[in-house]
Structure 1
């Protein structure tokens, strides 16, 4: 959630934004990544059989790499759309639009991920109730 909040905050950045605001925003975003990444990998590693831990670890690393590549692709597309074949130095004012567009895309992606997470939690809870009821019917 802190990553989503800082992405929304980042859409307000402009040439008059204080560096303290930017530093605070980046620190809060870094805290969000830190609080998410370690527990997430712990859950993944604890949910697989010991024989599959190396495969799960590799898949986690591959996912992070794919995220990095996707982010770079989106950034490149935004630069290409806003600036075209010109040099970036020739259009410094376009960089604000590019960064704002990137944060809007990030907000959309994070909102979708949050929605899917919430749906997954409710789906898992309802499936657990069904399994519990089935087990109780077998016993009782």
Structure 2
């Protein structure tokens, strides 16, 4: 399993358990976020984060279930990198218009750690939550 920025994943997944988000709003502190000095690194990180968590069943596109029906075709990665030609939506527009939210599996994971509240987003890495997350990812590899 690849490593991941624990605090950034923890914060974004906790946020997702409370509200939906767009790719442009994801991982706001990772590599300086959308307007930071490493925009390309941040953007790659967001794509990896979203694709991993959709594939594992922790996140789902709010209004675009068609993007996950065939997980093997990597439809999410394709639209995040190239936009949606069928909807005539360029990638920069899509990053502001495509919303993601938590699945029941993510909500359950967050609830088990009593972290589904806005205050938990601001705490340091919770090793037990991260261990549960790693176990969840490994079970789906």
TM-score by structure 2 length?
0.31
- Relative to total residues, which structure has the larger helix share, 1 or 2? 1
Q: Compute the TM-score of the two structures, normalised by the length of structure 1.
A: 0.31
